[in-house]
Amino acid sequence: MFDLRDTQGISFGTALDYATQASVKTGVRPAFILAILSQESDLGKNIGSCLVTNIDTGDGVGKNTGTAYEKVMKAPRDTQPFQDITASVGLTWSTTPVSCPLSRTYSASRGYGGAMGPSQFIPSTWQLYAPRIETATGVTTANPWDPRDAIMATALYLADLGAGSQTYTAERNAACKYYSGRSCDSKSPPNTAYGNSVVAKADTYQQNIDYLKNPQ
């Protein structure tokens, strides 16, 4: 499973199985869960290009380039949970990839990177959801890099954001909230392109799922 931390990703069949299990628990459509995972990490193929090098400041570098980034992760809000989470699943925080921020130099408008795994949860949010993930999947320790745990985390979060009603508006707004913390709107930074992309991906996934159920 840990191969997906680099380039392998999650096979469609496996992702669909886990998304279907998560849908039973949460009421969120499997196609919509997969669409979020596709938008966030291409089903686990792109889970981060930065490394945290200083756990006290959150500074880091590009994983492949060594280019310095200020405040890849917010300290201590996320750096301490990140240290705890990686240790709990047998990983080393300094060699575990996370998402990069939008630019190398920190500013309040730029924000942080530091998202983990296929679901791209920030560490502090993952810790909040970990007990619910563990209950839903039956594992002892929720792992952001395990496909089943990551997909369940996405489904639980989307349910909390209103996607369980399965309407177009609810799913689109849930996607925008997943990305930016707010419903789709015209404010800055923009979030509607993300929401529109997710619902389009969900339509395609639904067509594929329907075909698998009833091939013509």
- Residue 158 makes CB contacts below 8 A (sequence gap 6+) with 26, 28, 32, 33, 36, 164, 174, 178
Print pLDDT tens along the chain (216 aa). 344 444 579 999 999 999 999 999 999 999 999 999 999 999 999 999 999 999 999 999 999 999 999 999 999 999 999 999 999 999 999 999 999 999 999 998 899 999 999 999 999 999 999 999 999 999 999 999 999 999 999 999 999 999 999 999 999 999 999 999 999 999 988 999 999 999 999 999 999 999 998 886
Dihedral angle computed from the Cα positions of residues 149, 150, 156 and 160, in that order, rounded to the nearest 10 degrees: 150
Distance from C-alpha of 111 to C-alpha of 102, rounded to nearest angstrom: 8
Model confidence, pTM = 0.93
Distance from C-alpha of 206 to C-alpha of 3, rounded to nearest angstrom: 27
Residue pair 84/91 in contact (Cβ under 8 Å)? The answer is no
Distance from C-alpha of 163 to C-alpha of 179, rounded to nearest angstrom: 14
